[in-house]
């Protein structure tokens, strides 16, 4: 079957998706907003602590239980895994992993494949979700259960502002490690983790590679209209509960524009490998293509027509090959 005749079950025909590049929603003060936020964050000490896990059965890696302070002082938890042995200063490339919605840093053995490639890796918890990192803030308006609508009427107070800064400070942490080569940094993750990888690479020039797969937090207005499952429904439910006539709709989407992976992608300089699945009803393909088509730097796409929002073990190997060739 010719590509032009292929139509995904959940979104636009593939021929349209490949060219789908909606107008960015960047506000005039977008860059100023983030430069000021990052500037304030830099004045906050990282206060990082890494404790060696001595009783783990894996002996081919060194595992550290990490805590560092977010920009608002919230303790952020993570795993830092390094190949066993002595390492010269600046000798190891490093990868930072961000997890999916309501997930956590996972288990150290899930990072073993990177360490076996001679790469250090940090996996952090997203605040308030399924790990040890607390949410660390209060919010002025009512919200829907979940994280998507906390502070949604003000970009300065929106939940994901501190989350994105946590992701940048994860890069600060790995750069502070003696064995890390700060010129060889990659960021990656799936779903929410993919959106966070885009944010980290869009807001910080240090990552050389970015590897988001079916990224969440992209092209919010389209996502809320098109999704058929997952966290975007929280935004719909916020309107149902607090604003049934959508009188505050423009303010809501103005706030979200500062956190939109489509806008972040336009500022990414890292070489990027993105995976998109065409049967994804949680992060609709058009929202992912919106981000991919706005990527500013060198990029490569892996397309999986018959997969949805699910595990992609074969793509893990694709990312390993991408890292081996480029990091």
Query: Residues 6 or more apart from 57 whose CB is under 8 A from it?
Result: none
Q: What is the model's pTM?
A: 0.96
232 is in an annotated binding site: no
pLDDT of residue 3: 46
Q: What is the mean pLDDT of residues 145-170?
A: 98
Please write the tens of the pLDDT for every residue from 97-153: 999 999 999 999 999 999 999 999 999 999 999 999 999 888 988 899 999 999 999
pLDDT of residue 2: 44
* Active site members: 191, 280, 309
Helical segments of the chain, H only: 14-19, 30-42, 112-116, 159-175, 192-203, 220-226, 233-242, 249-257, 261-265, 285-294, 313-326
pLDDT of residue 8: 61
Please write the tens of the pLDDT for every residue from 1-37: 344 445 567 899 999 999 999 999 999 999 999 999 9
Handedness of CA 109, 110, 115, 121 (dihedral sign): negative
Please write the tens of the pLDDT for every residue from 30-83: 999 999 999 999 999 999 999 999 999 999 999 999 999 999 999 999 999 999
Please write the tens of the pLDDT for every residue from 252-292: 999 999 999 999 999 999 999 999 999 999 999 999 999 99
């Amino acid at each position: 079957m010719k590509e032009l005749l292929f139509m995904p079950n959940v979104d636009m025909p593939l021929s349209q998706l490949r060219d789908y590049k909606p107008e960015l929603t960047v506000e005039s003060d977008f860059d100023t907003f983030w430069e000021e936020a990052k500037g304030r964050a830099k004045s906050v000490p990282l206060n990082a602590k890494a404790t060696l896990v001595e009783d783990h059965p894996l002996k081919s890696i060194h595992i550290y239980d990490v805590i560092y302070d977010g920009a608002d002082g919230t303790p952020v938890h993570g795993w830092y895994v390094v190949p066993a042995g002595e390492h010269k200063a600046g000798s190891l490339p490093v990868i930072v992993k961000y997890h999916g919605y309501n997930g956590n840093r996972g288990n150290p053995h899930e990072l073993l494949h990177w360490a076996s490639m001679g790469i250090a890796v940090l996996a952090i918890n997203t605040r308030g979700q399924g790990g040890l990192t607390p949410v660390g803030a209060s919010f002025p308006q009512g919200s829907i259960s979940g994280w998507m609508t906390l502070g949604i009427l003000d970009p300065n107070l929106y939940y994901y502002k501190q989350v994105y800064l946590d992701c940048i400070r994860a890069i600060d942490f790995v750069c502070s490690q003696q064995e890390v080569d700060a010129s060889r940094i990659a960021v990656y993750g799936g779903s929410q983790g993919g959106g966070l990888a885009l944010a980290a690479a869009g807001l910080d020039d240090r990552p050389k590679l970015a590897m988001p797969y079916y990224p969440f937090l992209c092209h919010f207005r389209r996502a809320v209209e098109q999704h058929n499952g997952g966290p975007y429904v929280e935004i719909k439910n916020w309107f149902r509960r607090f604003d049934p006539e959508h009188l505050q709709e423009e303010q809501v989407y103005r706030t979200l524009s500062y956190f939109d992976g489509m806008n972040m992608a336009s500022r990414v300089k890292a070489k990027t490998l993105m995976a998109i699945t065409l049967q994804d009803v949680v992060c609709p393909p058009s929202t992912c293509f919106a981000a991919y088509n706005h990527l500013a730097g060198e990029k490569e796409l892996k397309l999986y027509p018959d997969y949805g929002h699910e595990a992609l073990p074969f793509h893990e190997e694709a990312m390993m090959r991408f890292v081996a060739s480029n990091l």
